[in-house]
Amino acid sequence: MANLKALVTSVELCSTITFPTLKKLSVNDMLTGHELADLELKVSFPCFTDVVTIWSSVSKHVRQQLLKKKPRAVSITGLGTFHIKKWHCFENGKMITLQGPVFSLSGTVAQIRDLHHASVPIPGDIKEVSVSYKRIHLDVPYSEKVVQHCMQETLNFFYFILKKKEDTDFILKDVGTLAIRGTEVTMAFCEDFLLSLNESTDMVEKLLTKKWVISDKEVTLFPSYFGRVHQFPQFEIRVVPRRISLTDIETFTEVESGMSSTGIKGNVSD
């Protein structure tokens, strides 16, 4: 996050996208009175990078809507929609009900590079709401306008990375992680969140065992052809296991075959 300003500036130089709000939020030193006015802060104190704080408030809002007695479907414009689904199974002659979140990727994201993600219809009896910029700004020391621009610019940067065919993890604190590897999309959820929706850890374990939901603990093991992923909204790069591509396998086979034909055996290493 310390280099966010330099990062977004470099993207601006090679594209038509601009990130004025992210650049202002990336300031690490005390802002002047004029800069504070530009940011429309409700309070005047040293301002540090607060992009993650804004998105943490977004996550908090999503979680609150999904944990209501009558859960609502909640949409983050430009990212996707969450709602709660129920599953039924029998145990010891009794039917038990399990609850888990499901996620439908926004068409805006899916179309960027033909991402593979099944859209789950929202039942007609579930009310759908969108994350409110006004509601989020009440949790952070920034105006509604700054919150809106911060979220939109973060998503624009996210889209830019996807268009470059890079892999990403979009983390919604205490909710889950949207992991994109190539054209594969997985929404994995925090186990504490799953426990909040169910009565016991045994029920959560059943959800995970049956693969009705995926734990975000598995995301760290998701490989990438690049051996790295761009992590949002932290704007960091995280090292992950490297996925071997078909080209890598073919190259290894050709090298191994060539060595064998000369009577040489050995190991190919990085």
Q: What is the mean pLDDT of residues 172-200?
A: 96
pLDDT > 70? residue 43: no
269 or 21, which is more confident = 21
Please tell me whether residue 92 adopts helix, strand or coil conformation: coil
Confidence (pLDDT) at 3: 66
Confidence (pLDDT) at 103: 96
Percent of the chain residues past pLDDT 70, beyond the cut:
81
pLDDT > 80? residue 251: no
**Residue 4: band (very low, low, confident or very high) from pLDDT cuts 50, 70, 90:** confident
Q: What is the mean pLDDT of residues 210-237?
A: 93
Confidence (pLDDT) at 233: 94
Summarize pLDDT for 65-88 with one digit per residue, the tens: 999 999 999 999 999 999 999 999
- Lowest-confidence segment of 128-137, 139-148, 150-159, 258-267 by average pLDDT: 258-267
Which of 131, 139, 133 minimizes the C-alpha distance to 42?
Answer: 139
**Distances in whole angstroms, Cα of residue 234 to Cα of each of 33, 120, 170, 171:** 27, 28, 9, 9
4 or 47, which is more confident = 4
For the chain, the 3-state helix, strand and coil shares in percent, each to the nearest 5, are 40, 25, 40
**Domain ranges, ordered by start, for the chain:** 50-237
pLDDT > 70? residue 247: no
Q: What is the mean pLDDT of residues 234-246?
A: 86
- Lowest-confidence segment of 11-25, 86-100, 105-119 by average pLDDT: 11-25
pLDDT > 50? residue 101: yes
Q: Is the dihedral of CA 211, 66, 103, 216 positive or negative?
A: negative
**Residue 18: band (very low, low, confident or very high) from pLDDT cuts 50, 70, 90:** confident
Percent of the chain residues past pLDDT 90, beyond the cut:
61
Please, what's the b/e burial string for 227-243 (b: 16 or more CB within 10 A of its CB; e: otherwise)?
Answer: eebbbbbbbeeeebeee
Report the half-sphere exposure of 30 (CA within 13 A, side-chain side): 6
Query: Are the CB atoms for 100 and 207 separated by under 8 Å?
Result: yes
- Lowest-confidence segment of 118-122, 202-206, 249-253 by average pLDDT: 249-253
pLDDT > 60? residue 13: yes
Which of 113, 98, 129, 246 minimizes the C-alpha distance to 167?
Answer: 113
